[in-house]
Amino acid sequence: MGIVIRLDEDLNYSEGKFSVNIGGGLRTLTPPQVVKVLRYPAWHGGRKQRADIQAQLAAALINQYLRPSRKDKADKDFSFIVNLAARKDLLVSHFAEARDGLDFLSENNKEGQICKAVSLPGEYVGSGDAIRFYLPEDIKQTLPILLQ
């Protein structure tokens, strides 16, 4: 099993203990490959492309796995993701707070297309906790076109 996604470029990077080598194009990524894509630091399009890819992964994950048939497996899935990502800042309370929304999505995602990633124009400014994404001033006119 994995997540089907189209990568815009080949991912080739190696530094220290982190390395990734995944070809671009339509791919079925294993869970460890998804984590590598999420952590990939060398996108040619920088922070913006990284955020767009992360949004695509989130949409693919929701569409492909958050289905009525998996609703009863949500607790096990959450534990698997936390252990795979080796993140100590992902808490059960985060999952519990999101549970009603996740249940709604899984109950209504019968066709596997409930979620869509949208790439908005703009730029990232700052770094770390002070990073912000700034949209262009005319976004209200642009947004309806982007959501079609």
Query: pLDDT by residue for the chain (148 residues), tens digit each?
Result: 789 999 989 999 999 989 999 999 999 999 889 989 988 998 888 889 988 998 899 899 888 888 888 778 877 777 776 666 666 666 778 778 888 888 888 888 888 888 888 888 888 998 888 889 888 877 767 666 666 6
- Straight-line distance from the first to the last Cα atom of the chain, in angstroms, rounded to the nearest whole number: 30
Task: Verify that 55 and 113 share a domain, yes or no.
Answer: yes
Task: Verify that 101 and 140 share a domain, yes or no.
Answer: no
pLDDT score at 114 = 87
DSSP 8: S
CB atoms within 10 A of CB 109: 20
Say which residue the tokens 């985060």 belong to. Answer: 94
Task: Verify that 12 and 43 share a domain, yes or no.
Answer: yes
Task: Verify that 85 and 139 share a domain, yes or no.
Answer: no
User: What domain count does the chain have?
Assistant: 2
Task: Verify that 89 and 103 share a domain, yes or no.
Answer: yes
> Containing domain of residue 129, as a range?
118-148
Task: Verify that 127 and 89 share a domain, yes or no.
Answer: no
Task: Verify that 55 and 31 share a domain, yes or no.
Answer: yes
Task: Verify that 34 and 66 share a domain, yes or no.
Answer: yes
Task: Verify that 48 and 113 share a domain, yes or no.
Answer: yes
